[in-house]
Structure 1
């Protein structure tokens, strides 16, 4: 079993959920979150700088704000990890900064509270 954590843009959430469901992944958690990547540039500043505004150009080196994102978390059998990762990439890839990140972590055990089932049966 693996836990797949994906941080994606807010506006791609519905597309991502539909694609994951079509790929056979129905169980997931979605969390509202905020964050930023390595590019500490505010998009408004970048736009102003590209238009030649000296004030914007001067501010480009300052840290940017945190952007609203969604964090999806799902635990899947090992055999589904590649399909989940591929689906998330296909649903979110624009080729621009901010497309998101995917993390895959091992899961030691899963237990269904209602029945006590463990392992893959708990999923």
Structure 2
């Protein structure tokens, strides 16, 4: 099982979420964040519109998901298809090991707790 953290432009969030749901990635947590990558870019408002002022932080959306190991490549492909523009600020994808998960209600653990 893997934890996948996806940081994308705010204006790509709904399209990304819809594509993930269509591909049967149902368990999604998300939040609005601000931050910056390696290179400070133009400030991006929550609406996704860029201004010409150069600030050190940009508004982004962070999606967190837990998926089966065999689904990671498919998940990454979906995210890249929608979010890769080739310009600074497209975002990041982090894939981390997740040792286990436990569904509190039933006590199920492992992959069964998230599927």
Question: Cα distance, 1:73 vs. partner?
Answer: 0.2
Quick one: distance in 1 between partners of 2:41 and 2:82? 24
**Structure 2 counterpart of 1:68:** 59
Q: Which is helix-richer, 1 or 2?
A: 1
Q: Residue 73 of structure 1 aligns to a residue in which SS?
A: strand
Residue-pair matches, total: 106
**Structure 1 counterpart of 2:36:** 36
**Structure 2 counterpart of 1:117:** 108
**Structure 2 counterpart of 1:27:** 27
Contiguous gaps of at least 5 residues in structure 2: 43-50
**Structure 1 counterpart of 2:86:** 95
When residues 45 and 78 of structure 1 are mapped into structure 2, their CA distance, relative to the original with a 3 A threshold, is: same
| The structure with more radius of gyration | 1
**Structure 2 counterpart of 1:11:** 11
Quick one: distance in 1 between partners of 2:41 and 2:64? 27
State TM-score, norm by structure 2: 0.86
Contiguous gaps of at least 5 residues in structure 1: 47-63
Higher relative contact order (CA 8 A, sep 6+): 1
Question: Cα distance, 1:121 vs. partner?
Answer: 0.7
Question: Cα distance, 1:40 vs. partner?
Answer: 2.2
State TM-score, norm by structure 1: 0.81
